[in-house]
Amino acid sequence: MNIKLASSYGFCYGVKRAIRIAEENPGSATYGPLIHNKDEIARLKDRYDIGLIESFEEAEKTDSIVIRTHGIPKNELKQLKAEGKKIVNATCPYVTTPQQIVEQMSREGYSIVIFGDRNHPEIKGVVSYADDPRDAFVVLDPEDLDELPLKSKVAVVAQTTRKPEDFLKIVGALTLRSKEVRVFNTICNATFENQDAAAELAREADVMIVIGGKHSSNTKQLHSICKNYCDDSYLIENEKELDSAWFEGKELCGISAGASTPDWIVQNVIDRIEAIVRDDVSSEE
């Protein structure tokens, strides 16, 4: 069996930047998981003593804080700064962009529609930048727009890791009901590239392995895309979750990885798959 990596996968610019920032601030604590990869977070803890804050109450008791790549609510950031905390902002620039757009469009009197998961920390942060949070609406499907009290002027942004084709459905539905729609494509370029590369590889693979955090939005999107083209597509966090049965009778194993997945985890997975294949060949002989 051959193993083939997607032409684009793994760490994006924002994650690389956040990891570098954390490493440059040993002994600090991140407000929320820095990225959605528990193995990389464990590495930062072991090597750089980077702690983890899970609540605002904990943050208020901490002197040196690294803001996660997904950002935090505007009022919390403002309050922590006012309290004199050392704040190192590792929010991804691609996440900062929709925050700024929402803030500006809200001030100009637009209703705000945000395409994404309302429970995701990125979206919670973006919503908080609206002048009036009651005029910012988070949706996942066009049907979610039906009962919303939108103004005649609407501005729409997207969670950075969403599928472009799904975002276009929201935009299309809005244009049918609103006089003015300002569309801001805030989906990350790295997301486009990783998704396109995963789809291309899944079309030819017998089995696809997608590596990344189970709570990572962009990794779950990659897995969903792969499943569209390759039924035997599996989402794992590390090599320990591999099942030798997945590779029986397969000729090509494709591998992709989410934006929060470091190369060392990808290599561990490749090494383990190669060992599984070697063991199978030895057993047959």
Q: What domains, with CATH codes, occur in the chain?
A: 2-9+189-284 (3.40.1010.20), 13-91 (3.40.50.11270), 94-183 (3.40.1010.20)
Q: Which two tokens stand for residue 144?
A: 């979610």
Residue 168 confidence class, pLDDT cut points 50, 70, 90: very high
Confidence at residue 275, expressed as pLDDT on a 0 to 100 scale: 94
Per-residue pLDDT reduced to its tens digit, 18-54 = 999 999 999 999 999 999 899 999 999 999 999 999 9
Task: State the catalytic residue, choosing from 76, 122, 237, 239.
Answer: 122
Confidence at residue 285, expressed as pLDDT on a 0 to 100 scale: 52
122 has catalytic annotation: yes
Per-residue pLDDT reduced to its tens digit, 208-238 = 999 999 888 889 999 999 999 999 999 999 9
d(CA 270, CA 176): 48
Instruction: Find the mean pLDDT for residues 98-125.
Output: 96
Q: Is the pTM of this model over 0.85?
A: no
Which region among 121-130, 176-185, 212-221, 274-283 has the lowest average model confidence (pLDDT)? 274-283
